[in-house]
Chains A and B, each alone.
Chain A
Amino acid sequence: GAGVSQSPRYKVAKRGQDVALRCDPISGHVSLFWYQQALGQGPEFLTYFQNEAQLDKSGLPSDRFFAERPEGSVSTLKIQRTQQEDSAVYLCASRPTSGASYEQYFGPGTRLTVT
């Protein structure tokens, strides 16, 4: 009965470093979303997976951002050559089906600070 988990919860990276953020969705959930959230603001969509297929990556801000979900469960968001503007909370959410159920279950997020 575990919810969505994300690791690490906090990450400090020096500018230029690569980082990898992990999301473990609820078991059996088909859909997986990544969001970027600035302090005190709503989430901004980054990318969406249905099983292992990345169906929408229109929100990824640059080609330094890359996401994968190779086996249709765990997903990793990778940011290459991090910049200060990448500092944010990265949220992962999963959803039971790809159909009409809109509810998304969120993880606690990874707070990334780029120094």
Chain B
Amino acid sequence: QQPVQSPQAVILREGEDAVINCSSSKALYSVHWYRQKHGEAPVFLMILLKGGEQKGHEKISASFNEKKQQSSLYLTASQLSYSGTYFCGTVTWDNYGQNFVFGPGTRLSVLP
């Protein structure tokens, strides 16, 4: 089942912060985050595994709350280069094994 992302879209000025949320109705094994710029392929940002760890990548970090079955992506002091669509991908288990599903995406626009 597809995870839910919020917000659907957000507009920022350079230097502002943003939070993108990803939630699942199923227990999560891990969460991936990707960024896709217009006309390009998605690019991997980070993976978070069970255990509630927080990871960082330059000024982009993420957390994983296993209990709430959700992950949040934090973009601080946003730059123009952060513009794009952010997708979470969730890994869950069922009787047939692991399942990976992308969320619908959050479109982020950073303005000068």
The reply to whether chain A is a binding partner of chain B is no
Report which B residues bind A (CB closer than 8 A). none
